[in-house]
Amino acid sequence: MSPADPAPAPAAPSPARSGRGVFVVFEGGDGAGKSTQVRRLVETLRAGGHDVVRTREPGGTPLGETLRGLVLDPAHAPVDARTEALLFAAARAAHVEQLIRPALAAGRTVVSDRFADSSAAYQGAGRGLGVDRVAALNDWATAGLVPDLTVLLDVPAGTGRARRELRDGRDGDRLETEPDAFHDANRQAFLALAARDPGRYLVLDAVRPPEELAAEVAEAVHARLAGHPRPTAEVGA
Ligand code: TYD
């Protein structure tokens, strides 16, 4: 390139949508039933011969799981909001780079329990850092990776709390034990994010029976998969 040539355009971030695999994320408040729905979807997809990577945030890699332990441990309270947002974003950057992008590039389906919207909601709205600001931080951390489908399991804060108490007793992690007002702010932020990009979200009333929710999720995911090549899991994988 001669010095007179125009500078090349900066490399565009490569959203998952342009990759070969399909990236599905579950979001929602604590006690929404994400783990159950993630498990059911992964079972359904695998039974249909799809090669699926199941993962979660914070976590997904050894570094991410270590950061998870640090950021959720009540022994570290109080953690200021910026530190908290950066720890989640750091775990996410490693997760995307080390696990999610390689899996999508290999044509695998990735199903993650939480992703960047959790930070936009919990740290942006709940902690008051600003939804757009935290979303921008995470856009940088993920180099622009966007899920193909985000399933938002919507529950009122009180319902989520009651379910958590039933599940775990009264102890929860540093975020779960925040008051209902915190969880309600998160909920409104999730709903607002979904409303901005309705084609990419499936918003479900998570108070409904799990079987019904699982059926709707499976239908939506199969619709996304229909447009993609379909690598099958190797025998024994
Ligand atoms: P989660 O794994 O859903 O909780 P559980 O262990 O009960 O299944 O998430 C852990 C907590 O971390 C949850 O309260 C939400 C919070 N969180 C954030 O605040 N920001 C984030 O970016 C993420 C991924 C999670």
**Cα 136–140–143 angle (5° rounding)?**
130
Q: What is the CATH number of the domain that holds 130?
A: 3.40.50.300
- Cα-to-centroid distance, 7 and ligand 1 (Å): 42
CB atoms within 10 A of CB 181: 10
Whether the link from the prior residue into 15 is cis, omega within 30° of 0, is no
Establish whether residue 114 lines the binding site of ligand 1, counting it when its CB lies within 6 angstroms of any ligand atom. yes
- Cα-to-centroid distance, 87 and ligand 1 (Å): 12
- Cα-to-centroid distance, 138 and ligand 1 (Å): 15
Q: Is residue 8 part of a domain?
A: no
E-strand ranges in the chain read 23-28, 52-56, 109-113, 149-154, 201-205
Establish whether residue 27 lines the binding site of ligand 1, counting it when its CB lies within 6 angstroms of any ligand atom. no
- Cα-to-centroid distance, 2 and ligand 1 (Å): 51
- Cα-to-centroid distance, 31 and ligand 1 (Å): 11
Q: Is residue 100 part of a domain?
A: yes
Pocket test for ligand 1, best of 129, 133, 173 (most atoms within 8 A of CB): 173
Q: Which residue has the CA at smallest separation from atom 8 of ligand 1?
A: 35
Q: Which residue has the CA at smallest separation from atom 22 of ligand 1?
A: 119
Burial 197-221 (b: 16+ CB within 10 A, else e): eeebbbbbebeeeeeebbeebbebb
Q: Is residue 20 part of a domain?
A: no
Establish whether residue 154 lines the binding site of ligand 1, counting it when its CB lies within 6 angstroms of any ligand atom. no
State the pLDDT at residue 227. 79
CB atoms within 10 A of CB 185: 20
- Cα-to-centroid distance, 58 and ligand 1 (Å): 7
Q: Which residues span the domain enclosing 30?
A: 26-226
Establish whether residue 58 lines the binding site of ligand 1, counting it when its CB lies within 6 angstroms of any ligand atom. yes
Q: Which two tokens stand for residue 31?
A: 């006690």
Q: Is residue 9 part of a domain?
A: no
CB atoms within 10 A of CB 80: 9
Burial 152-168 (b: 16+ CB within 10 A, else e): bbbbbbebbbebbeeee
Establish whether residue 122 lines the binding site of ligand 1, counting it when its CB lies within 6 angstroms of any ligand atom. yes
Q: Is residue 182 part of a domain?
A: yes
Whether 183 and 127 have beta carbons less than 8 Å apart is answered as no
Atom of ligand 1 nearest to the CA of 89: 22
Q: Is residue 14 part of a domain?
A: no
pTM equals: 0.90
Per-residue pLDDT of the chain (237 residues; tens, 9 = 90+): 344 444 444 433 444 454 689 999 999 999 999 999 999 999 999 999 999 999 999 999 999 999 999 999 999 989 999 999 999 999 999 999 999 999 999 999 999 999 999 999 999 999 999 999 999 999 999 999 999 999 999 999 999 999 989 888 767 899 999 999 999 999 999 999 999 999 999 999 999 999 999 999 999 999 999 977 665 554 333
State the pLDDT at residue 110. 98
Establish whether residue 182 lines the binding site of ligand 1, counting it when its CB lies within 6 angstroms of any ligand atom. no
- The count of domains in the chain is 1
Q: Is residue 237 part of a domain?
A: no
Q: Is residue 177 part of a domain?
A: yes
